[in-house]
Amino acid sequence: MDFYVILGLEHGASASEIKRAYRRLARRFHPDINPGDRLAATQFQQILLAYETLMDPERRSRYDAGSPLGSDQPPTSGFEGFDFSTRGVDQAASFGDLFADVLAARGQPSGSERGTDLHQTLDLSFEEAYAGVQRAIAVTRRETCRTCAGTGRTTASAGGCLVCQGSGSVRTARGHMVFTRRCPACGGSGQRRPQPCGACGGLGHDTRSEAVQVRIRAGVADGDRVRVPGKGHAGLLGGQPGDLYIAIHVASHPVFRREGDDVHVVVPVSIHEAALGARFEVPTPDGPARLRMPPGTQSGQRFRLRELGAPSTRDGQRGDLVVEVKIVLPRVLDERSKELLREFGRLNSDNVREG
Do 208 and 101 lie in a common domain?
no
What is the residue-averaged pLDDT of the chain?
81
Distance CA 31, CA 157 (A): 14
Q: CATH number of the domain that 30 lies in?
A: 1.10.287.110
Give dist(CA 148, CA 152) in Å, integer.
6
Residue 311, strand partner residues: 318
* Tens digit of each residue's pLDDT (9 = 90 or more) over 100-147: 444 444 443 445 678 889 999 999 999 999 999 999 999 998 888 877
Q: Could you give the dihedral angle defined by the CA atoms of residues 37, 201, 79 and 92, in that order, rounded to the nearest 10 degrees?
A: 140
SS3 for 182-249 is ECCCCCCCCECCEEECCCCCCCCEEEEEEEEEEEECCCCCCCCEEEECCCCCCCECCCCCCCEEEEEE
Please give the Cα distance from 27 to 304 (Å, whole number): 73
Q: What's the CATH code of the domain at 294?
A: 2.60.260.20
Question: Does pTM surpass 0.85?
Answer: no
Residues 11 and 131 in one domain: no
In the three-class reduction of DSSP (H, G, I as helix; E, B as strand; rest coil), residue 164 is classed as coil
Res 156: pLDDT: 53
Look at phi and psi of residue 151 and say left if phi exceeds 0, alpha if psi is from -120 to 50, else beta: alpha
Whether 153 is covered by a domain: the verdict is no
Q: Is 3 helix (H, G, I), strand (E, B) or coil?
A: helix
pLDDT tens-digit series, residues 294-343: 999 999 999 999 999 999 998 989 999 999 999 998 887 788 888 888 89
1-23 mean pLDDT: 85
Q: How confident is the model at residue 70 (pLDDT cuts 50, 70, 90)?
A: low
Tell me what the mean pLDDT of segment 94-98 comes to: 46
Query: For the chain, what is the domain count?
Result: 3
**pLDDT at residue number 155:** 61
- For residue 99, is pLDDT > 70? no
Identify whether residues 310 and 343 lie together within a single domain.
Answer: yes
Q: From CA 30, how far away is CA 48, in angstroms rounded?
A: 10
d(CA 345, CA 271): 13
pLDDT value at position 222? 95
